Amino acid sequence: MSSWQGKSRGNKLGYGIFVWVLRNGGVLPAYFLLRFVVVYFLLFSNKTSRPLFSFYHRRIGFGRLQSLVYLYKNYFQLGQSIIDKVVVMSGIKNNFTFNFDGEDNLRKMAGLQRGGILLSAHIGNWDIAGYLLKRLETKINIVIFDGEYQKIKEYLDSVTGKPPVNVIVIKNDLSHIYAISDALKNNELVCIHADRFIEGNKTMMGELFGEKARFPMGPFLLATKFNVPVSFVFAVKESSLHYHFFASEIRECSVGPKEEVMQAMLNDFTREMNNKVKRYPEQWFNYYEFWAKPAIA
């Protein structure tokens, strides 16, 4: 079974071209240029297209043609998410609008002054979600695997400037564990993706679309260890210039054996994830075989 390698595709020249178009023409011309890039990925990225096409065709039940259409939509949405990140975080003039479901849940969590964990997945635009969370007026930390090619990351950082949240990078020396621990002890909110893992990391089994899959144990272990409230959050795109932010009701860690508490939380998370992927299938950016066993033809 193939696995996620923790890296994103793209090159510095490509990003530079899009930034130039954004600054000189705006968002919509950049989206137009993106369509040609998407065609390239459809033609020459079979390794990433195969598992996604299988998901649309075998798991959701789309026909082959519809699956190809959604494959195109998925790449297009991924490209838009990168463009939108640059626009919002660098202050380029735009007409984006947003609405929020569950913002009161996060304000309640911040008001508890106990710290908290926000669990999400590679659905929608996590960078936009992190930017929007600054309205909570509390310190936000985002945990990421620093799998971007360093020169590209440095270039994007130079364009977007200092992020509105504190970034905790997952490293082999485990220093990120101490950073997360300090953040929670200081009553800060910590945002973590809970749908991907690197081979060798500890995992748990959950169910998505009726089939078992492995999920990283770390986010759920942290919640139980520090006994902090948890919310499931997502920011999805509903039109070219409109985003919808979701935050679930606060979930407290229940009393009981640690393994059972963690499994119950994972089950809640996968149900929420399942609902969001069904509602926005073109915005789940998964490009490897996610399930424990491939879909049957």
In a domain, 290, yes or no: no
Q: Could you tell me how far CA 109 lies from the centroid of its own chain?
A: 21
- Nearest to residue 234, comparing CAs of 179, 274, 183? 274
- pLDDT tens column, 5-19: 444 455 566 667 777
Average pLDDT (184-196) is: 91
Structurally, the chain folds into a number of domains equal to 1
Give 256-265 contacts, CB < 8 A, sequence gap 24+: 258/224, 261/224, 262/204, 262/217, 262/220, 262/221, 262/223, 262/224, 263/204, 265/220, 265/223, 265/224, 265/230
- Domain-located, residue 3: no
Q: Is residue 2 part of a domain?
A: no
**Lowest mean pLDDT segment, chosen from 10-24, 35-49, 65-79, 182-196:** 10-24
Instruction: Determine which of 105-119, 163-177, 260-274 has the lowest per-residue pLDDT on average.
Output: 163-177
Three-state DSSP at 292 gives coil
Average pLDDT over residues 274-281: 96
Helix H or strand E segment including 180: helix 175-185
- The greatest distance separating any two alpha carbons of the chain, rounded to the nearest whole angstrom, comes to 58
Residue 192 identity: I
In sequence order, what are the residues at sequence separation of 6 or more whose Cβ sits closer than 8 angstroms to the Cβ of residue 277?
123, 208, 209, 284
Percentage of the chain with pLDDT > 90? 51
Cβ 212 vs Cβ 194: under 8 Å: no
Residue of 115, 141, 104 whose CA lies nearest to 229: 115
Asked, for residue 5, whether it belongs to a domain, the answer is no
Tell me the residue range of the domain where 271 lies.
Answer: 12-283
Is residue 289 domain-resident? Answer: no
Asked whether residue 155 is assigned to any structural domain, the reply reads: yes
pTM score of the predicted model: 0.86
Is the predicted pLDDT of residue 207 greater than 70, yes or no? Answer: yes
73 lies in a domain? yes
296 in any annotated domain: no
